[in-house]
Amino acid sequence: MPLSHDEVVHGKGSLVDKMPGDDWQRHANVRLLLGWQWAQPGKKLLFMGCEVAQATEWQHESDVPRHHDDPRTSPHADDMVRWVAALNEMYRTHPALHAGDCDHRGFEWLIGNDYKASVCAFLRHDPAGQAPPVLVVANFTPVVREGYLVGVPIGGTWRALCSSDDVAFGGSGVVDGELLASDDPLHGQSSRLTLRLAPLAITFFTPSAPEMPEPTSKGTSV
């Protein structure tokens, strides 16, 4: 899952520079992109400068800008550094995000065709069934979506692990804390969550005190 130097050199601009919208939307889009990368199966590669939201494209004869007095440094550099650190910590501590990278049971689509709302949702699983699943929901539009329904495999309480819209990362703060899943089947799952989706954001959820289901062959490879 690489975002290599080829993406940010030879006149292509930085990741931030590529994004549409105003300054806030451009940085929100980069946070969403990096969260999407971390959520997918596959090992990650992020090229130097992307983790600090470098404002200009990478120059091989220069150092990566890391100081606020450097014009190539985004004013949101610290926010992006905190976001990448949070993604790394979550990836390390939740096996569902990495244990099934090479196993089709490690990934399961929930919503992949909602082109009207531009929302995608999927589950990451630990194929061994030893760790709880992680639900990933991404809203690719700059509007808040209220009452969005997503199926989940376990009832009870779910909590947000991490959201790119958290104010700690420069977001607007539309972040769900704990949510109670209803016992109404949806998307091939036994229960459902009603979510408030943050704008241009990706959010990761996991059950608070899950009763682990038996491992199955269920899942959709990518």
Are both 45 and 72 inside the same structural domain?
yes
Residues 70-86 have a mean pLDDT of 81
pLDDT at 104 over 90: yes
The more confidently predicted of residues 179 and 67 is 179
Q: Is residue 118 part of a domain?
A: yes
**Residue 48, CA distances (Å) to 7, 15, 53, 166, 191 in order:** 11, 11, 10, 24, 41
pLDDT (tens digit per residue) in 29-53? 999 999 999 999 998 887 776 677 7
The more confidently predicted of residues 70 and 153 is 153
Q: 3-state SS of the chain: helix, strand, coil percent to 5?
A: 25, 25, 50
Are both 88 and 108 inside the same structural domain?
no
The sheet that has 134-139: what strands, in order across it? 107-114, 119-124, 134-139, 201-207, 156-163, 178-181
Are both 125 and 66 inside the same structural domain?
no
Are both 87 and 101 inside the same structural domain?
no
Domain holding 76, by residue range, is 2-93
pLDDT band at 58 (very low <50, low <70, confident <90, very high): low
pLDDT at 222 over 90: no
Quote the pLDDT of residue 211. 55
Split into its structural domains, the chain has a count of: 2
